[in-house]
Amino acid sequence: MKIFLDSNIWLRFFLQDIQKQYESVVELLSQIESGRFKSYTSSLIFMEVNFILEKVYKLKRDEVFDLFVRIQSVRGLTIIEKTNLKLSLEYYKQYNLKFPDCLIASQLPSNTTLISFDEELSKIKEIVVKKPQEIKL
């Protein structure tokens, strides 16, 4: 199974602020590292995580950098760099979502499930969105 990890997955892991979500993310990351899933995230996810950690949680740049190194070190994780602007704009117009979410949805490789706690993303009918605990391990 192919999965794409949204920014809130990484935030729950690093912040450990919502215990049940943190536990489900830890289990999912363990499964990724064991080779159970082909996993992806993207440079856009890094941008969102950076903004939230620095502006909302007031982490210092060095702290955020260290967290980014941890993301990059997850075994079997592929970082996607490309977006599909045309598809993003279609999602933006059709589903009335935040544009960054539309950009992220446009990055999903075919037959990939978006793993997120953001229920708004389920509005996009062309993709499958699940929470970590909904993934059959």
Residue 87 domain-assigned? Answer: no
Low-confidence ranges of the chain (pLDDT < 50): none
Structural domain of residue 46, as residue ranges? 2-81+110-134
Residue 6 domain-assigned? Answer: yes
What is the four-CA torsion angle of 104, 107, 110, 115, rounded to 10 degrees?
A: -30
CATH number for position 28: 3.40.50
**Of the candidates 82, 111, 105, which has an alpha carbon nearest to the alpha carbon of residue 6?**
105
Largest pairwise CA distance in the chain: 39
Residue 95 domain-assigned? Answer: no
Residue 37 domain-assigned? Answer: yes
Q: Which residues pair with 4 in a beta bridge?
A: 40, 114
The answer to whether the beta carbons of residues 115 and 9 sit under 8 Å apart is yes
**Total domains, the chain:** 1
Residue 98 domain-assigned? Answer: no
End-to-end CA distance of the chain: 11
Q: Residue 7: how many CB atoms within 10 A of its CB?
A: 24
pLDDT value of residue 137: 54
Residue 62 domain-assigned? Answer: yes
**Of the candidates 105, 76, 74, 63, which has an alpha carbon nearest to the alpha carbon of residue 88?**
105
Q: Which residues pair with 2 in a beta bridge?
A: 38, 112
3-state SS of 88-110 is: HHHHHHHHCCCHHHHHHHHCCCC
Residue 104 domain-assigned? Answer: no
